[in-house]
Amino acid sequence: MIPLQDILPRRNPPIMTWILIFINIIVFFYEISLSPIERETFFRTWGFIPARFFDKYFTVLVGEPSYYKYLSFITHLFIHGGWFHIIGNMWTLWIFGDNVEDRLGPFRFLLFYLFCGILATFTHAIIYKNSITPVVGASGAISAVMGAYFMMYPLARILVVFPVFFFPVFFEIPAFLYLGYWFLIQFYSGLFSLAIPVSFGGVAWFAHIGGFLVGALIYRIFCKKRRIYLDECSIFGSLFDIDKR
């Protein structure tokens, strides 16, 4: 199933979502302007490499400044490996990010996005401690946005397309069904990647899993605090959608 849009209005323009998408696109066009060797160096410099944190000899052996490992926590979230990678991530961010930002506010949404993106990638790093393969992409942070959406708007309608014998079939399903289905795919793919790395490698499945769970668990910390009877970050607040301004 491929999500096309959610059937859920928002109150405010998703300024921070637009900014994040814009930055990712600018960085991607910079990447494709590089030669293959320069691009590989760019990925290894600014991508997240687990061995930087768990192998004390890594930085010495490769001869790079130690501060790269801290910067890469953020920089890897804005780097993508190809057209399909960035289009898929930015499309998903556009579908689910605007409504989550609407509830959190732009600044809180940015903090949520970056913080959860870091925790998501660190989940991957714990599983693959000695990996020297750079992790790039916004998937972990976007998975957290999806986890928050799952908790905020479980009954929102998602328009999806499903190919049946090469013919597209369009239909709407509740958000909790689509996002639950998506999470299960990530979960089992992550398990299979441990057992059959050749077939399921190349994707940071555990960053997706960790991001989704973290986003679902801590999103309320980033919600706007208002003295209202229905918390705008609760399920009931999102269902009744009362004007609290």
For residue range 114-165, list pLDDT tens digits in order: 999 999 998 998 888 888 888 899 999 999 999 999 999 999 999 988 888 7
User: Does residue 176 lie in a domain region?
Assistant: yes
For residue range 181-212, list pLDDT tens digits in order: 999 999 988 888 787 765 555 788 889 999 99
User: Does residue 99 lie in a domain region?
Assistant: yes
Q: What is the pLDDT of residue 64?
A: 65
For residue range 5-56, list pLDDT tens digits in order: 888 888 889 999 999 999 999 999 999 999 999 999 899 889 998 888 777 7
* pTM given for the model: 0.86
Is the model's pLDDT at 235 over the cut of 80? no
User: Does residue 128 lie in a domain region?
Assistant: yes
Q: How many CB atoms lie within 10 A of CB 236?
A: 11
CA trace torsion 19, 225, 112, 110 (10° rounding): 20
User: Does residue 180 lie in a domain region?
Assistant: yes
Q: What is the pLDDT of residue 198?
A: 58
Residue 47 is part of a domain; what is its CATH number?
1.20.1540.10
Nearest to 206 by CA among 191, 225, 221: 191
* 17 sits in which H/E element: helix 15-32
For residue 159, which phi and psi values (nearest 5 degrees)?
-85, 120
Q: What is the pLDDT of residue 201?
A: 57
Domain that holds residue 106: 2-240
User: Does residue 140 lie in a domain region?
Assistant: yes
For residue 104, which phi and psi values (nearest 5 degrees)?
-90, -30
Residue 76 three-state SS: helix
Q: Of 177 and 240, which is predicted with more confidence?
A: 177
User: Does residue 245 lie in a domain region?
Assistant: no
Tokens 């949520």, residue located: 112
Number of domains into which the chain is organized: 1
User: 124 with 204: CB under 8 angstroms?
Assistant: yes
User: 186 with 212: CB under 8 angstroms?
Assistant: yes
